[in-house]
Structure formats: structure tokens, C-alpha cells
């Protein structure tokens, strides 16, 4: 985690990308996400500003077809808020990949291009 904490401090953008498992981000990703609790403790108990530099961020989720894409997006936004990112691009998703392959999912491809543009915009 030390390497990841360092990246989180220094980076300009954060992208969370995950398959959907049981209508949620994967358990493996949530395990890493649970280590972000240190930022909550820093803010809430120690009254620190644990991450000074705000970040832009985006979320991509992909699923076979069950459930909704919104629940994992909400959870990802929650993790991003812990990392001082409140400027989150609208959800990009590819769903129902059981029937429609992602490679022909025009909205997903457009969304990914949108994220690239958003991340590279000049900031004031």
C-alpha cells in the first residue's frame, strides 16, 4: 500500500475500472479500497487534510448483464471521495456483454474517449 499511497498523493487523475461481480465492484478492488480508511481517520479523528491535491477521476465498469451499473459506480465514487476527488466524470459502462461484445459498444468507446479528454484538459 505504501507505493499506492504515494501514487494517490502525487497523481492528477484517478481511474477506477472494474468488472461487476454480484452487482458490485469486485471483492479484490474493495479490499484495496478498505485501506483508504486511513484517509477518513486522518480527516475525522486527527483533523488533518490527508490529501492536499484534488484529483479528477472516472469510473469504468463492465458486466455480463445482471443487476445495475449504478451501485458499483456509487461505491467507486465513495472511494474517490476518500482520495480527495469530487470532480468525477459521468459513469462509463459496458453492460450485457453476454450478448453484446464491448468491442462494438459505441457508447463505451465514446465514454472512454471522453475520459481521456477530461483527464487531459488544462486545469486552472
Ligand X SMILES: Cc1cc2nc3c(=O)[nH]c(=O)nc-3n(C[C@H](O)[C@H](O)[C@H](O)COP(=O)(O)O)c2cc1C
Choosing from 11, 13, 19, 87, the residue that interacts with ligand X (CB under 6 A) is 19
Count of residues that interact with ligand X, criterion CB under 6 A? 12
For residue 100, how far is the Cα from the chain centroid?
23
Q: Which of 3, 5, 26, 13 is nearest to 76 (CA)?
A: 26
Where is 94: in which H helix or E strand? Answer: strand 92-94
For residues 21-60, which are near ligand X according to CB under 6 A?
21-23
- For residue 23, the minimal CB distance to ligand X (Å) is 4
How many CB atoms are located within 10 Å of the residue 34 CB? 10
Choosing from 15, 55, 57, 62, the residue that interacts with ligand X (CB under 6 A) is 62
Nearer to ligand X, 11 or 69 (CB): 69
Q: Contact at 8 Å (CB) between 36 and 9?
A: no
* Rounded Cα–Cα distance for residues 95 and 57 (Å): 21
Q: Does 91 bind ligand X (CB under 6 A)?
A: no
- For residue 31, the minimal CB distance to ligand X (Å) is 15
Nearer to ligand X, 51 or 92 (CB): 92
- For residue 25, the minimal CB distance to ligand X (Å) is 11
Rg (CA), the chain: 15
Q: Does 101 bind ligand X (CB under 6 A)?
A: no
Amino acid at each position: 500500500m505504501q507505493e499506492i499511497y504515494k501514487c494517490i498523493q502525487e497523481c492528477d487523475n484517478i481511474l477506477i475500472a472494474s468488472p461487476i461481480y454480484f452487482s458490485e465492484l469486485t471483492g479484490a478492488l474493495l479490499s484495496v479500497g478498505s485501506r483508504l480508511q486511513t484517509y477518513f481517520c486522518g480527516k475525522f479523528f486527527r483533523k488533518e487534510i490527508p490529501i492536499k491535491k484534488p484529483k479528477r477521476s472516472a469510473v469504468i465498469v463492465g458486466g455480463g448483464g445482471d443487476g445495475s451499473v449504478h451501485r458499483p459506480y456509487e461505491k467507486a465514487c465513495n472511494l474517490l471521495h476518500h482520495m480527495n476527488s469530487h470532480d468525477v466524470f459521468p459513469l462509463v459502462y459496458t453492460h450485457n456483454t453476454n450478448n453484446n461484445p464491448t468491442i462494438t459498444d459505441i457508447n463505451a468507446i465514446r465514454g472512454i474517449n471522453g475520459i481521456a479528454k477530461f483527464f487531459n484538459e488544462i486545469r486552472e
